[in-house]
């Protein structure tokens, strides 16, 4: 396993937009990723799994939910995970290209995907259909390598996975390909539709179907592992840990089931900028497009050079605050493509002052979960959508 040390506060991507101001480093639009928090979260989660006798697959798809897949993968493998999971073969190959040699599963393909590079790189592949199995076997023949396969059963999610009535044929074909030396069936797996409601009736129905699917595979002479639990199931249903758990969001410190107790997770992403310009406006002056906000009295304003092109949703106009100089301050007027304006009343703030748009919440700053709630979405969507061409990502906490 290649676990290169990461430089502290290493700006890992994006344009150089962090000029030094009076010896202080400021940011235009930066995602600070706290690797120590990721390590802590993985240690907590893999500890729960280990107590059930299960191993942990850290899900780092979609560029590690926006945090940086390679960084997160390395941190996770150092902290108790022994497996990685991604959606696409390209994502898996990028991890291999970075020198990561751990077991690594990918599970979602374009039609007609060529699995040759993935099999050659020792990437484990999910098979939901006979077509998947045939294409994987063809790649095994081309590379001369045995392909490691996880057979996916659709137990009720209604997304990918093999429908139950087609499962016997898929298992039989997989057992045959295994005896021919083309494949090794590593696991039978599935995904839960309603894991964030741990007593939802669909869970038990899915688990029954899962057990039937596994029994059938064992009956066909296979000896597969079983995995079905995402973060929510890992945190709330130890009976569903089986042999391997697949946490994603909880690795990043965002709790999918906060109403079920404090799980001791630490959010890893902070979105920060800094004050680009300060000004005092007179009472009656309007701010930003459409003058949706008009100063009631003379006020200090701070211009922050981030906008909806940098991931600040325009729909949060008039509904968000930022952390600036030790307190939350409201954003006034419309969020623009590149900038937003913060109301500071009579307080003095300085150009170059740090502005936190969201973070772990420890100091009282807004959180990604609060943004999500305001927007009627989930924190998954917020963090996954933050990394963009003009936004830098800084790795901290090594």
Closest to ligand PLP by CB, 14 vs 248, is 248
Site string for ligand PLP, 77-116 (x = CB under 6 A): ------------------------------x---------
Type and span of the H or E element at 118:
helix 116-120
Say how many Å lie between the first and final Cα of the chain, rounded: 18
Closest to ligand PLP by CB, 107 vs 271, is 107
DSSP bridge pairs for 299: 281
The footprint of ligand PLP on residues 59-78 (CB under 6 A) is: 59
Residue 247 engages ligand PLP in binding (rule: CB under 6 A): yes
Q: Identify the residue among 191, 214, 263, 272 touching ligand PLP (CB under 6 A).
A: 191
| Total residues at interface with ligand PLP (CB under 6 A) | 12
Q: What is the 3-state secondary structure (H, E, C) of 315-349?
A: HHCCCCEEEECCEEEEEECCCCCCCEEEEEECCCC
Query: In a 10 Å sphere around its CB, with 0-12 CB exposed, 13-18 middle and 19+ buried, how is residue 1 labelled?
Result: exposed
Q: Identify the residue among 89, 156, 256, 307 touching ligand PLP (CB under 6 A).
A: 256
Residue 46 engages ligand PLP in binding (rule: CB under 6 A): no
Please identify which of the residues 61, 65, 109, 152 carries the catalytic annotation: 61
Residue 41 engages ligand PLP in binding (rule: CB under 6 A): no
CA distance 47 to 55: 9
Place of tokens 């990561």: 100
Q: Identify the residue among 246, 272, 329, 379 touching ligand PLP (CB under 6 A).
A: 246
Is 159 marked as a binding-site residue? Answer: yes
The answer to whether the CB of 188 falls within 8 A of the CB of 224 is yes
Is 337 marked as a binding-site residue? Answer: yes
Question: Is 289 in the active site?
Answer: yes
DSSP bridge pairs for 162: 153
Both tokens of residue 227? Answer: 């995995």
CA distance 236 to 247: 12
> Shortest gap between Cβ of 236 and ligand PLP (angstroms)?
12
Point out the residue whose Cβ comes nearest to ligand PLP: 248
The answer to whether the CB of 126 falls within 8 A of the CB of 189 is yes
> Shortest gap between Cβ of 70 and ligand PLP (angstroms)?
18
Pairing type for strands 225-229 and 244-245 reads parallel
> Shortest gap between Cβ of 302 and ligand PLP (angstroms)?
35
> Shortest gap between Cβ of 38 and ligand PLP (angstroms)?
14
Spatial CA neighbour of 307 closest among 299, 315, 297: 315
Site string for ligand PLP, 133-172 (x = CB under 6 A): ----------------------------------------
CA 25 to mean position of chain CA atoms: 28
Pairing type for strands 392-396 and 354-358 reads unpaired
Residues marked as catalytic: 61, 289
Instruction: List the binding residues for substrate.
Output: 159, 337
For the annotated binding site, the residues are 159, 337
Question: Which positions lie near ligand PLP, rule CB under 6 A?
Answer: 59, 107, 191, 230-232, 246-250, 256
């Amino acid at each position: 396993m290649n676990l290169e040390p990461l430089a502290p506060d290493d700006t890992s991507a994006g344009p150089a937009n962090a000029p030094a101001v009076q010896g202080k480093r400021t940011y235009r639009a930066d995602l600070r990723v706290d690797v120590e928090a990721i390590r802590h979260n993985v240690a907590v989660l893999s500890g729960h799994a280990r107590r059930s006798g299960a191993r942990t697959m850290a899900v780092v798809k979609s560029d590690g939910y926006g945090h940086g897949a390679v960084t997160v993968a390395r941190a996770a493998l150092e902290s108790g995970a022994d497996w990685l999971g991604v959606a696409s073969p390209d994502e898996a190959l990028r991890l291999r290209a970075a020198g990561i040699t751990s077991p690594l599963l990918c599970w979602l393909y374009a039609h007609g995907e060529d699995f040759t590079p993935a099999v050659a790189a020792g990437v484990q592949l999910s098979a939901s259909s006979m077509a998947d199995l045939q294409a994987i076997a063809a790649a095994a023949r081309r590379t001369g390598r045995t392909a490691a396969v996880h057979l996916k059963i659709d137990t009720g999610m209604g997304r990918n996975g093999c429908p139950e009535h087609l499962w016997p044929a898929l298992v039989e074909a997989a057992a045959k390909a295994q005896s021919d030396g083309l494949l090794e069936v590593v696991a039978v797996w599935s995904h839960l539709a309603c894991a964030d409601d741990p007593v939802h009736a669909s869970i038990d129905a899915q688990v029954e179907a899962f057990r039937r699917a596994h029994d059938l595979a064992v009956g066909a002479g296979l000896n597969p592992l079983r995995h079905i639990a995402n973060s929510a199931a890992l945190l709330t249903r130890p009976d569903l840990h089986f042999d391997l758990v697949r946490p994603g969001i909880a690795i990043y410190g965002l709790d999918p089931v906060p109403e079920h107790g404090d799980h001791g997770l630490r959010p890893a992403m902070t979105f920060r900028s800094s004050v680009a310009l300060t000004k005092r406006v007179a009472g009656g002056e309007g701010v930003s497009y459409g003058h949706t906000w008009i100063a009631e009295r003379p006020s200090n304003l701070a211009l922050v050079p981030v906008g909806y092109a940098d991931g600040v949703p325009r729909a949060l106009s008039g509904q968000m605050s930022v952390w600036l100089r030790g307190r939350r301050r409201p954003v006034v007027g419309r969020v623009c493509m590149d900038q937003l304006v913060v109301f500071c009343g009579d307080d003095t703030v300085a150009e170059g002052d740090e502005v936190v748009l969201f973070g772990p919440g420890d100091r009282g700053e807004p959180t990604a979960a609060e943004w999500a709630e305001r927007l009627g979405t989930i924190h998954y969507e917020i963090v996954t959508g933050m990394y963009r061409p003009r936004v830098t990502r800084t790795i901290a906490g090594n």
